[in-house]
Structure 1
Amino acid sequence: MPRPNINHINPSRSISNAANSNPSSRLSLISRHLVDQQPLNTPYTTERLPNTIDTSLLPKTTSRKMSSQPEHPTLLIPGPIEFDDAVLHSMSHYSESHVGPAFVATFGETLSMLRKLFQTTDPASQPFVISGSGTLGWDLVAANLVEAGDDVLVLSTGYFSDGFADCLGVYGAKVTEIKAPVGQRPQLPEIERALSEKKYKVLTVTHVDTSTGVLSELKKLSELVHRVSPDTLVIVDGVCSVACEEIAFDEWKLDGVVTASQKAIGCPAGLSISMFSGRAIQTLKNRKTPPSSYFGSLKNWLPIMQNYEAKKPSYFATPSPQLVHALHTALTQILTRPVSERFAKHREASDRIKKAVADLGLKQLAANPDDQAHGMTAIYLPENVKGTELLPKLGSRGVVFAGGIHKEVAAKYIRFGHMGVSVLEPERGHVEKALKALEDGLAECGYQKA
C-alpha cells in the first residue's frame, strides 16, 4: 500500500479536531487521508533539533523525506518504535472531558477496533485499555485471575517471562517455571508432563520475549492445554507481538492477551491494552476473595469498558484522552488493510534482515528459525566486539539499537527492533540504513567476516 502523504499537516487543524470532533466524521477523514493520500491542509513546520549525527557516516543514497518530524536518529529497538505523523498529531488534541460524548464515542470505537486486531467476535470477551505500561498487564492477570495459593505454570523464554513469574509470586501465586536454555522455548512434551502432574489455575507464555527474540508457538500450545488440562487459563504476554505476530484469539481459544501501545501497534507509550475471554471474566467473577489490587481491579474496570464500548459515559479512574486518540488513529491505520497482510509483511522483512545478519557471519540467540520473532532480532556479537563499543558507532550513523538484557548473556548481544512503519513503509529506508550501519560499525570495530 503506498504511504499516505502526511507532509502537509496543520497543527491548528489536526486530524483529531477535524469535523468538530464528531467521531464518525473524524474516522472518515482519517481513513480518507490514509487511503486516498489527501493532504490535510497547510504545511507543518518544526524546529530542527540539534544535529548529533555524523552525517558523513550516513549512507550516500537516502530515500525521500517520509515524515514531517524533526530529524532524529532512527529508533530500531524492540519498542518504543518509530511513529507515524498522523498518530503523533492525534496526541495534540485539545483538552476534553473524558466522559463527554465525543471522547466516549472515540474510546468506544477504539475498543471495538481492538476486537478486530485480536481477531475475536465473541461478545463474551472484553478488551481493556488502561493507563499504564505493558507491565501493568502482568498485574491485571495476577491480581484478578489468581488467588493466593493458586498454582501457576510459567513458560520461560527470557527476562520478561521471569518478570511475569516474579509478579505472580508477589500476589501469592505458587509459581512453577519451565525454563528453556537461552534462545530456545519450552517444548510441548515437557509442558504436557507438567500439566499432567498438577492442576494449574493459569498457564502463562510470553509470545515474544524481548530479551531473546524467541517466538513461542501459541496454537499448538493452546490445543495441548485444552486437551490435557481444560480448566487451565491460557494467558499470553503479547507486549512485543500484538500487531506484528498473528494472534487468533477465538480460533486458538486464548483466555487473555496483555500488551502495550508503544510496540508494533505504533502508538506512544502509556497504555496497557488487554483482551480477556468470557471464561477469564467468569473466573474473575467466581473469586473467593476480592481482587488484590484497587486500580488494577478488573471488577472495577469491566463495567467502565463495557459502557465505553456501548458509547455510554462512565468513570472509575481518569483515562488519557490524548493517548486514546493516538491509539484510535493507529488502529484505524492498521485496519485499513487485512491484518494478515500486516503479519506477512513483518515476516518478509524479518526474513530479509535475518539473512543479512547471517551474511555478515553473525548468529542469533534464537538459532532455530521456528523460534525466531518477526518483529525483532537478537544478534550475538563477534568475540572481539563489545556492545558498549558498537552501539555508539551505530548511533553516530543515525541508528539506535538496544543492548542485551538477559542476565546470562547480556554483554554478548544486541537487539534490532523492526516493527511498524519501519518495515511497512520500506520507502523510509530504515532497514537498509540499519543494516549498512551495522556492517560499517562492525568493520570500524575491527570485525571481518571469516
Structure 2
Amino acid sequence: MPSFRSWHFNFSSRSLISPRPTSLHNLRPVIHRNMTKFTQEPHKLLVIPGPIEVTDEVLYANAHPSMSHMSPDFAKVFGDCIRMTREVLYSKEGQPFLISGSGTLGWDQVSANLVEPGESALVLNSGYFSDAFADCLQVYGAKVDQVKAPVGGAVDLGDVEAALKAKKYKIVTVTHVDTSTAVLTSIKDVAAVVKRVSPETLVVVDGVCSVASEEIKFDDWGIDVILTASQKGLGTPPGLSVLVASPRAIKTFETRSVPVTSYYGSWKKWLPIMQTYEKNTAGYFATPPVNLVYAYHASLNQILHGSVSLEERFARHREVSQRVKVEAEKLGYRGVPLGADVAANGMTALYVPEGLKPTDIVPRLLKKGIVVAGGLHPAIKEKYFRVGHMGVSVVDQSRGDIDKVIAGLKESLDEAKAEKA
C-alpha cells in the first residue's frame, strides 16, 4: 500500500489521488481523521482581497467525510464555531449567525430584520461596497441617505454628526474596510459619535474585508451588528455568511411591528437554530454547509489557539501592511487611500505609475504565479489594482508569500517600463 506521503489531494477534481489504482479498502488510511500531514499541491499564490490562501489543515478539514447536519458530532463542531466567532470579535454578548451564503447575505439580514419599510438608514460611503449596501437597503423599502467620502478617503465624523442631528435614523451602516479602495474607517470613532448624538440608532458594520485582519472590539465599542464572510481574514473557503448581532439588535428584531420581509434571511427562522446548535444539539431550518463548517472550525482554532495570539495576529497584519505599502511606493506605485490613517491592514490598493495601465502589471504578476485583483471602484477602475495580505500569508512568514509579492511588483514594473522604453 502506498504511504500517506505518496498521496496528494487534487483540488481541481476535489479527489484523493493515488500513484496507482487501488481498492476502496486502500483509501481508508488516506481519509482517516487521525492523519496529521497534508500538503496542498503547488498552485498560484492567491493574494486578492479574498478569497485568500488557506492553511493545509483548513483544506484537509474541508475534505471531512460527509456528515449528517443533525449528528451530535457535527452539532458540537457547529456550537464551537458559534462560540469562537464571538472570541474573534471580543464579544461575550453577541449572537452569531452562521448561514450558508456569501457576505452579501449579511446585507439582506440587516435590511430584512432590522429596518422596516419606510424607516430611515444612514450609509457612510467610502466606496463601491457602501453603494451596494445602500442599494440592498432600498430594495427592502428603507429610506436611505448617505454621507460620502472622496475616493480614497473615509467619511468626515463632523458630517456624520450633522446628519444624525438633522434626522432620526434606525441604523447607521459603515464599511470597515471597503474592498474597492482599501480605505479603513475607524468604526470605534463612528460608534462613539452615534452613541453620543443618536444613542437609539443601531451601528451596523460591514466587516467583510476586516474581520480577523483588523482589531474589532464588538462589545466595548458598542457595535450592534457586524457582518462578514468566511473567505477573507477568517481564512476559510467561500460559502459561509457570518454575522453577529448585539442584544439590542435582537430586541429590535423581536419588537418590530411588521413581519420580516425575507424567508431565507429571517432571524425568526435562524435564531432558534443558532441557539440550539450552541447547546451542542442539532436543529433544522435549512441545511448548513457541513464540510465548510469543519473548515471554519479548523481555521478558528488556528486563529485563537495557534502559535500566534489574536493580538499578535493584528500586529503582524499592521507590520506587513506597512511593509507592502512602503516598498510599493519606493518602486513608484501610489496608494489609493489618501493617508496612512485610512489605509487598511489586510489589503493594499495601488495606482500604477504614470504612463502605465493596470494591464501592464496584473498579467505579468499572473505569469509569475501571483494572482492579484484589478480595480473595482468605477471612478478609478482603469488606474489601479488591489493586493490582499491577510491570514496565513501574513501570519506564517516562513511561506515567503509577502516577499514573493514585493519581488513580483518590482519585476513586473521593470518589465513594463522596459517594454515602453
Same fold (TM over 0.5): yes
Aligned residue type for 2:109: L
| Closer, same or farther: CA 427–280 of 1 in aligned 2, 3 Å | same
1:433 is paired with a residue of what secondary structure? helix
2:261 corresponds to 1:245: no
Segments of 5+ residues of structure 1 without an aligned counterpart are: 1-5, 19-39, 45-67
Distance 2:32 2:70 in 1: 17
Q: Distance in 2 between matches of 1:278 and 1:261?
A: 23
Q: 1:424, 1:312 → 2: CA distance? A: 34
Structure 2 unaligned blocks of 5 or more: 9-15, 17-27
Deviation, 1:443, is 1.2
Within 1, Cα distance between the matches of 2:30 and 2:171? 44
Of the three residues 106, 130, 154, the one matched with 2:99 is 130
SS in 1 for 2:228: strand
Give the deviation of 1:447 after TM superposition: 6.7
Q: CA deviation at 1:71?
A: 1.3
Q: Does 1:17 align with 2:33?
A: yes
Structure-2 residue corresponding to 1:402: 373
**Residue 219 (structure 1) aligned with residue 215 (structure 2):** no
Structure 1: 4+ residue segments shifted above 2 A: 6-18
Match of 1:358 among 322, 329, 348: 329
Call closer, same or farther: CA 1:118–1:93 in 2, change over 3 Å. same
Inter-partner Cα distance in structure 2 for 1:355 and 1:81: 22
Q: By how many angstroms is 1:384 displaced?
A: 1.4
Q: Is 1:374 paired with 2:390?
A: no
Q: Aligned letter for 1:403?
A: G
Structure 1 residues 77 and 7, CA gap change in structure 2 (3 angstroms): farther
Which amino acid counterpart does residue 33 of structure 2 have in structure 1? N
Deviations 1:100-153 (A, max 9, x none): 10000110011011110111112xx20010000011010000010001101000
Match for residue 110 of structure 2 among 141, 164, 174: 141
Deviation, 1:338, is: 2.8
> 1:349 aligned to 316, 320, 323, which one?
320
TM-score, length-scaled by structure 1: 0.85
For 2:323, the aligned partner's letter is R
Which of 81, 85, 89 is the matching residue for 1:110?
Answer: 81
- Match of 1:17, SS state, is coil
Of residues 280, 290, 299, the one that matches 2:249 is 280
**One-letter amino acid matched to 2:190:** L
Q: Could you say what secondary structure the match of 2:219 adopts?
A: coil
2:408 equivalent in structure 1: 437
| Structure 2 residue 123 is the aligned partner of structure 1 residue 154 | yes
Q: Is the contact made by 2:31 and 2:65 (CA closer than 8 Å) also made in structure 1?
A: no
Task: Establish whether residue 269 from structure 1 lines up as the match of residue 285 from structure 2.
Answer: no
Per-residue CA deviations over 1:258-315 (Å, capped at 9, x if unaligned) read 0000001100000000100000000000111111100000111000000100112211
Please name the residue that 2:178 is paired with.
209
2:124 aligned counterpart, secondary structure: strand
Partner residue, 2:21: none
1:317 aligns to 2:290 (yes or no): no
Relative distance call for 1:325 and 1:16 in structure 2 (3 A) is farther
Q: TM-score, normalised by structure 2?
A: 0.91
1:384–1:447 Cα contact (<8 Å) kept: no
Counterpart residue identity of residue 361, structure 1: G
Deviation of 1:361 (Å):
2.2
Deviates more, 1:266-275 or 1:336-345: 336-345
